[in-house]
Structure 1
Amino acid sequence: MHYINAFWVGGLICALVQILLDKTKLMPGRVMVLLVCAGSVLSALHLYKPLVDYAHAGASVPLIGFGHLLFQGVKEEIEQAGILGVFTGGFKASAGGISAALIFGYLASLFFHPQMKK
């Protein structure tokens, strides 16, 4: 059942974002910033954690889940280190995922030889 919940929740998030891209004149970069900020705000309002508990990767993998991750990291670090946690919490919480993306992206470029569009 976890797979089904992850599939439909993640698919719904992606479909809503695609509708937002298609029906507005917002550029993709602005939509990405909007998603990260929305994840942070929903996490601050305690609305996103129940969705992550229900859908697991379906809610944590989309970009809105990155905002949730950043907020949770900052919140935990503030509890441990005080106000300095505002600056360090997001980095500590997201370091593993960002490092993996950089390493696997580099490895993929070694195997697939990317080229610039002409």
Structure 2
Amino acid sequence: MQYFYAFITGGTICALSQILIDKTRLTPARILTSYVVLGVVLTAIGIYEPFKQWAGAGATVPLLGFGCTLAEGVRQAVAQQGLLGAFTGGVRAAAGGISAAVFFGLCTAILFQPADKS
């Protein structure tokens, strides 16, 4: 059942994103940023953790999960380091994902030789 919940959750998030792109004037970048901020807000008010437990990877892999990771990292770092943790905790918590994104982006750019469309 966990796979089903993850599939339904991830699919719903993606479908909602597509609807926002098609039916509003929001750009994909604004939608993605909104999802990260929504993940932070839902984590801060305590709603995202039970949702994450229920949905599994369907809630942790999308951008909402990235926002949740940032918020949890900040919360832990502030508890350990004080105010300085508010600036370092999110990046430290998400460092693995950020590093992987940069690495695979670089590999893709090297393999496929991107160029301007014009």
What band does the TM-score fall into relative to the shorter chain? Answer: over 0.9
Aligned residues: 118
- 1:1-118 equivalence runs, <5 A: 1-118=1-118
In 2, distance between residues paired with 1:54 and 1:117?
43
- Unaligned runs of 5+ residues in structure 2 are none
- The 4+ residue runs of structure 1 with deviation greater than 3 A are none
Q: TM-score, normalised by structure 2?
A: 0.92
1:27 Cα shift?
Answer: 1.7
Secondary structure at the counterpart of residue 22 of structure 1: helix
1:65 Cα shift?
Answer: 1.3
In 1, distance between residues paired with 2:6 and 2:47?
17
Q: Identity rate of aligned residues, in percent?
A: 51
1:11 Cα shift?
Answer: 0.3
Q: Which amino acid aligns with 1:10?
A: G
1:38 Cα shift?
Answer: 0.7
1:88 Cα shift?
Answer: 0.5
Q: Which amino acid aligns with 2:105?
A: G
